[in-house]
């Protein structure tokens, strides 16, 4: 999924709160990755 890769890049660039606000679906995956 290209979108997931893009979201992963956003997670790397943006602070967690911003990512959480922008992509609620990514919160769980982001927490696992971090």
Q: Residue 14: phi, psi to the nearest 5?
A: -95, 155
Q: Which of 19, 6, 2, 3 is nearest to 28 (CA)?
A: 19
Q: How many helices (H) and strands (E) does the chain have?
A: 3, 0
Residue 9 confidence (pLDDT): 75
Instruction: Give the residue extent of every domain in the chain.
Output: 2-33
Residue 12 confidence (pLDDT): 72
Residue 6 confidence (pLDDT): 77
Rounded alpha-carbon distances, angstroms, from residue 6 to 20, 33: 15, 15
Confidence band of 29 (pLDDT split at 50, 70, 90): low
Give me the chain's average pLDDT, please: 64
Residue 19 confidence (pLDDT): 54
Residue 13 confidence (pLDDT): 67
Residue 18 confidence (pLDDT): 54
- HSE of 22, CA atoms in CB hemisphere, 13 A: 13
């Amino acid at each position: 999924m290209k979108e997931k890769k893009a979201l992963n890049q956003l997670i790397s660039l943006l602070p967690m709160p911003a990512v959480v606000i922008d992509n609620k679906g990514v919160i769980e995956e982001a927490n696992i990755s971090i």
